[in-house]
């Protein structure tokens, strides 16, 4: 077994794996431990009390983070006519229909979020095998298939995140910002996510719903959070 690097050993020495960290304390510690040559993302893993074998207990949705994600989000919109003009006016990076579909089939996926108006789903539906595995397929359940394409573009640009439980476990993984955010800003983003997750709780879910919450950075350790330090 390879010997842990000095960096890894130094980080582990500052982390208590058995401790429940208050949210702001955890985010401050993760920031102090960050030594990557890029601005790392702060990521959250939430273990939900659901039965993933039951289709009615799949949890999915979207949340608008009050402090954004700290990155430029490229938005592609499938639309035509007035909807296309509205999307452009709202700041969409790419707007099209058949031409956009052709570009995607050719391998051009230079965007982070895809939005569509309902009337063009006949075109978008044929891209499911390309967009689906990448988490880019527009879906009415998360607000990316909508008649209000302008509003959806603005939400995406402002830092809206989408979440869905993994197929083999009741875990949601979601970025909530960057390591250079203040601990307060990260806590506010996390509380917004948890608030919406509570609203998305399946009616058939029994027992404790929010079981465990972990925070980490792209290259850093994972810290378990004390839920009593959060308001949602």
What are the tokens at 141? 């359940």
Residue 65: which residues within 8 A CB-CB, separation 6 or more? 158, 159, 160, 161, 176, 177, 189, 192, 193
183 occurs within a structural domain: yes
Query: Which residues, in sequence order, are bridge partners of residue 217?
Result: 42
What are the tokens at 63? 């949340």
* pLDDT tens readout for residues 166-218: 878 889 999 999 999 999 999 999 999 999 999 989 888 888 999 999 999 98
Strand 41-48 with 210-217, pairing: antiparallel
* DSSP H helical ranges for 18-97: 23-33, 81-90
What's the CATH code of the domain at 138?
Answer: 3.40.50.790
Helix axes 23-33, 183-199, angle to 10 degrees: 130
109 occurs within a structural domain: yes
Residue 89's domain spans which residues? 75-157
| Model pLDDT, residue 22 | 96
40 occurs within a structural domain: yes
11 occurs within a structural domain: no
What's the CATH code of the domain at 211?
Answer: 3.30.190.20
| Model pLDDT, residue 25 | 96
Q: Kindly state whether residues 195 and 220 are assigned to the same domain.
A: yes
What are the tokens at 98? 């058949």
| Model pLDDT, residue 193 | 95
Residue 223: phi and psi, rounded to 5, are: -120, 135
Domain C-terminal end among 157, 177, 193: 157
Q: Residues 37, 167: contact at Cβ < 8 Å?
A: no
pTM (predicted TM-score)? 0.75
Length of the chain: 232
| Model pLDDT, residue 211 | 94
Q: Kindly state whether residues 152 and 174 are assigned to the same domain.
A: no
47 occurs within a structural domain: yes
- The total of structural domains in the chain comes to 2
Profile the chain (232 residues) by mean pLDDT over runs of 10 residues. Answer: 64 82 95 87 93 85 88 93 96 96 94 95 95 90 92 89 84 92 96 93 88 93 94 88
170 occurs within a structural domain: yes
Q: Kindly state whether residues 32 and 139 are assigned to the same domain.
A: no
Closest CA to 210 of 189, 192, 227, 222: 227
Rg (alpha carbons) of the chain, rounded to whole number: 19
Query: Which residues, in sequence order, are bridge partners of residue 44?
Result: 174, 215
| Model pLDDT, residue 5 | 66
CA 164, 205, 128 angle in degrees (round to 5)?
A: 25
d(CA 169, CA 153): 31
3 occurs within a structural domain: no
Q: Kindly state whether residues 197 and 129 are assigned to the same domain.
A: no
What Cα–Cα distance (Å) separates residue 218 from each residue in 107, 128, 149, 178, 225?
27, 29, 32, 10, 17
Q: Kindly state whether residues 93 and 150 are assigned to the same domain.
A: yes
Domain C-terminal end among 132, 157, 182: 157
5 occurs within a structural domain: no
Domain C-terminal end among 100, 134, 157: 157
Q: Kindly state whether residues 79 and 129 are assigned to the same domain.
A: yes
Q: Kindly state whether residues 57 and 98 are assigned to the same domain.
A: no
d(CA 138, CA 146): 9
Query: Which residues, in sequence order, are bridge partners of residue 61?
Result: 163
Q: Kindly state whether residues 46 and 98 are assigned to the same domain.
A: no
């Amino acid at each position: 077994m390879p010997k842990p690097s000095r960096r890894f050993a130094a980080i582990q020495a500052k982390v208590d794996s058995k401790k429940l960290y208050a949210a702001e304390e955890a985010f401050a510690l993760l920031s102090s431990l960050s030594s990557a040559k890029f601005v790392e993302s702060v990521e959250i893993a939430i273990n939900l009390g659901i039965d993933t074998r039951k289709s009615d207990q799949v949890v999915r949705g979207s949340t608008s983070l009050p402090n954004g994600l700290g990155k430029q989000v490229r938005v592609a919109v499938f639309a035509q006519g007035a909807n296309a003009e509205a999307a452009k006016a709202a700041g969409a990076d790419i707007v099209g229909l058949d031409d956009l579909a052709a570009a995607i089939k050719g391998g051009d996926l230079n965007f982070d979020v895809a939005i569509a108006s309902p009337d063009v789903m006949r075109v978008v539906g044929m891209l499911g095998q390309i967009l689906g595995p990448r988490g880019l397929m527009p879906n009415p359940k998360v607000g990316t298939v909508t008649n209000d394409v302008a509003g959806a573009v603005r939400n995406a640009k402002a830092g809206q995140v989408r979440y869905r439980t993994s197929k083999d476990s009741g875990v949601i993984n979601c970025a909530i910002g960057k390591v250079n955010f203040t601990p307060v800003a990260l806590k506010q983003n996390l509380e917004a996510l948890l608030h919406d997750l509570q609203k998305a709780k399946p009616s058939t879910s029994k027992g404790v719903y929010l079981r465990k919450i972990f925070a980490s950075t792209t290259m850093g350790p994972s810290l378990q959070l004390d839920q009593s330090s959060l308001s949602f």
